[in-house]
Structure 1
Amino acid sequence: MAVGVSLLTLAGCAAPETSSATTYDDWESVLADAEGQTVQLWMYGGDNQGNAYVDDILAPAVAEYGVTLERVPVTDTRDALNRVFTELQAGRSDGTVDLIWVNGDNFRTGKEADAWLCGWTDLMPSTLGTDPDDPLLTSDFGTPVDGCEAPWHKAQFTLAYNAEAIPDPPTTLEGVLEWAEAHPGRFTYPAPPDFTGSVFLREVLASVSGGADNVPAAYSDEAFSELAPRLYERLGTLAPSLWRGGDTYPANEAELGQLFADRQIDITMTYGPATLTDLVADGTYPPATTVLTLEDGTVGNASFLGLPANSDSIAGAMVVANTALSVDQQVAKAQPDVWGQFTVLDIDGLPESDRAQFDDLPDSPVVPGYDVLSRNAHGELAAEWVPALDEGWRAGVLDR
């Protein structure tokens, strides 16, 4: 991927000192300013269901408020953040990026650079539907959210397998790796820093460390030096048994999924398990595709909509984020044939009529409910772990 501006070299850039968002005392003022604005939402463009949801469902909903929503597809969230940093460095207060689908290390980097507008989410009426104490919404990979991004949906890292090829599946992550070694060429994972490849590293780190509880959430050089060598040793031992002998890796989740669709491998992985439903229904994935629930659990997190501090459509962006968090949109997005994403709303705290909308959602024949997927789940490590593990993998596994 060609990146024109380094995130790290711009980490000290400053956001505009003042913003019109600080003048909003009530939601009616936001709605008044938002009318006629165009909001550009920069988001990963490789998810066809996500693209269709934004274009066909979310955009018409915000149009009712006089806001035009335009989706800007990117291959990497860092592309969007780099654009923000470039414009901030140039002193632009009329930024061209109005919302970013973001979480994790990208959110942390933006926050350290004061690139996000903060303290605005409490003004959104839809925020009342969330649990203010939900740890997935108050902390993003160990970085306090502080009203600098609006929650959008929850995710659970998930492995899926072809039950026709694997009639007796493993039940732990170490069991998955042992299965791969017993069946050379039938397993692989995306190369970090791809998002899915990175989370796979963190899952293996937890496994070789004796469980997620043995990996401190906060990053330190000492913890990395103590725990990471076992990770790279395990993945180095695994490498010859991978697809193409570990000489090459899929670049991203889409390429991994294509290998699974082509029956070149028998296990795939995703942070968006909802997509499995349609991929099986349309014949892309094997009809026997089954979610693999692991005894040791998997990582869960939430993703958000971040609002750059120099956006020229701040009110419109707030309206989009509020609409996206509404019950109607969260229900629509949760439909298996729409996007199937797990809601960030506190369902138990909603009025009965709203709870009923979630209760009436159809079950997926492929993907179990969030309560099953998140069983024994563990939280994300601090964002600082991500680049450290990714860089170590390149040196300790790929290039060795």
Structure 2
Amino acid sequence: MKFVRKTFIIVLAAMLVVAVGIAGCGAKEVRKTEDLQEKSWEEILAEARGTTVNFYGWGGDQRINKWLDEVVAPRLEDKYGIKLNRVGMDIDEILNKLLGEKQAGREKGSIDVVWINGENFYTARRNELLFGPFTSMLPNFQKYVDPDDPEVKNDFGHPIEGYEAPYGRAQFVLTYDSARLPESEVPKDHRALLELAKKYPGRITYPAPPDFTGSAFIRNIICDVVGREKLEGLDPGDKKAVEEAISPAIEYMRELKPFLWKKGESYPATLAQLHNMFADGEILISMDYAPYAAAGKVKTGEFPAMVRSFVFEKGTLGNTHYLAIPFNAPNKAGALAFINYILSPEVQASKNDPVNWGDLPVIDFNRLSPEEKKLFEDINLGDAALPGDYLQARRLAEPDASLIPVIEEIWVEKVLKEGK
């Protein structure tokens, strides 16, 4: 809360400065926004040419890093004369960096584009760390993105209002090796998962929060046990009410715990660790919030050829991740050009290929030309991937972002620390 209180004082001071007509940080930023909005797209591209865009985001997947460095970066420079500098950094470190720059009154920071979504977007907006609105300035957003899409309007329940542009779609999936686990034993709900864990004790586990995928697994279990609708309207400030609403799912996870890897006394710290355990045959089921990640790992030889994906019959959570521009980005023109390029059919199709990433596209297929549609039709997803329409039919909306830390806290108290 220390960061929030200090930031609030700085923002309030900036508002007062603008109100009395004194040139301050806030006033300068407003003028910069207006200047960009008054320029044509051609003028923005001309301003961006010859610059470097510093792109900060999660760097934990080498396939994604390689795609950005070896596919996107060269094409971006060839097409627009813009260099891409990818900086791998966890989002909490990025937000702390931006908060520090905000408190120090730094009008020119070091980050141009941030990979962000969910509770982190909520935190960034609450502390006024983002530049915008800007999506109306992007030609490809106007041409290819459906503005009425709920996930274009809201991010984990919070209005976007043009302060971030969609980057890709994700959906939680589970994976198994059909050479080790017969299809008849693949669990289609939480009950079957418990029976599987009892049959093969120590062969099932999941990453512990705050790992993103581990937290998503817990939310999926909650949705499967109590129903997604139970999470609607919950007040994150009323922890007792949240705990009561999800208590059947918490009891389920306590029942599951002794049959997990190491009897639930410890959990994999990261998704990468879970994937390694799965690849080594130590556990029977892995998981990912990138729906085609397993297909990509099969293609690269990281996973066995007989790996397949599945989701629960009631569905699994899906979300959209986004790109945003910090309030003090030094190269806003370059940031706009980069984000606009990401929204092109060329890049969205490349990102959809499991060899590169396996991310679901954010552009509306109804807006594509036959030639643009063919870019996606020519992609070989592989046997480990589930069809996009199958996933869409089983897609559940993420709950309000502010509920996530409360759910994680309850899990730590009632499941992780149980019996300790």
The bucket for the TM-score relative to the shorter chain is over 0.9
Offset at residue 285 of structure 1 (A): 1.8
Of 369, 382, 400, the match for 1:364: 382
**Are positions 1:283 and 2:325 aligned together?**
no
The two structures, once aligned, show a CA RMSD in angstroms of 1.9
State how far apart, in whole Å, the 2-side matches of 1:226 and 1:111 are. 30
Of 223, 228, 251, the match for 2:246: 228
State how far apart, in whole Å, the 2-side matches of 1:334 and 1:294 are. 23
Q: How does 1:248-287 map to 2 (within 5 A)?
A: 248-287=266-305
- Residue in 2 that maps onto 1:197: 214
- Residue in 2 that maps onto 1:295: 313
Deviations 1:225-272 (CA, angstroms, capped at 9, x unpaired): 321322322212211111011111111111111110111100011001
Contact 1:96 1:312 in 2 (8 A): yes
Contact 2:353 2:381 in 1 (8 A): no
Contact 1:83 1:97 in 2 (8 A): no
Runs (5+) with no aligned partner, structure 1: none
Offset at residue 8 of structure 1 (A): 5.1
**Are positions 1:21 and 2:33 aligned together?**
yes
Of 205, 219, 239, the match for 1:188: 205
- Residue in 2 that maps onto 1:243: 261
Contact 1:160 1:268 in 2 (8 A): yes
- Residue in 2 that maps onto 1:177: 194
State how far apart, in whole Å, the 1-side matches of 2:80 and 2:139 are. 15
- Residue in 2 that maps onto 1:65: 80
Q: Match for 2:55: what amino acid?
A: L
State how far apart, in whole Å, the 1-side matches of 2:58 and 2:132 are. 23
3-state DSSP of counterpart to 2:70: helix
Offset at residue 36 of structure 1 (A): 2.6
**Are positions 1:133 and 2:148 aligned together?**
yes
Of 344, 359, 374, the match for 1:341: 359
Of 107, 112, 116, the match for 2:121: 107
Higher Cα Rg, which structure: 2
State how far apart, in whole Å, the 2-side matches of 1:191 and 1:155 are. 20
Offset at residue 137 of structure 1 (A): 1.7
- Residue in 2 that maps onto 1:305: 323
TM-score (norm 1): 0.93
- Residue in 2 that maps onto 1:162: 177
State how far apart, in whole Å, the 1-side matches of 2:165 and 2:201 are. 43
Higher mean alpha-carbon deviation, 194-203 vs 368-377, is at 368-377
State how far apart, in whole Å, the 2-side matches of 1:103 and 1:329 are. 20
Offset at residue 215 of structure 1 (A): 2.5
Q: Match for 1:200: what amino acid?
A: F
Structure with a larger share of its residues in helix:
2
**Are positions 1:212 and 2:228 aligned together?**
yes
Identity among equivalent positions (%) equals 35
- Residue in 1 that maps onto 2:17: none
Offset at residue 223 of structure 1 (A): 4.3
State how far apart, in whole Å, the 1-side matches of 2:289 and 2:85 are. 25
Offset at residue 11 of structure 1 (A): 5.8
Contact 2:188 2:312 in 1 (8 A): yes
**Are positions 1:353 and 2:371 aligned together?**
yes
State how far apart, in whole Å, the 2-side matches of 1:234 and 1:170 are. 15
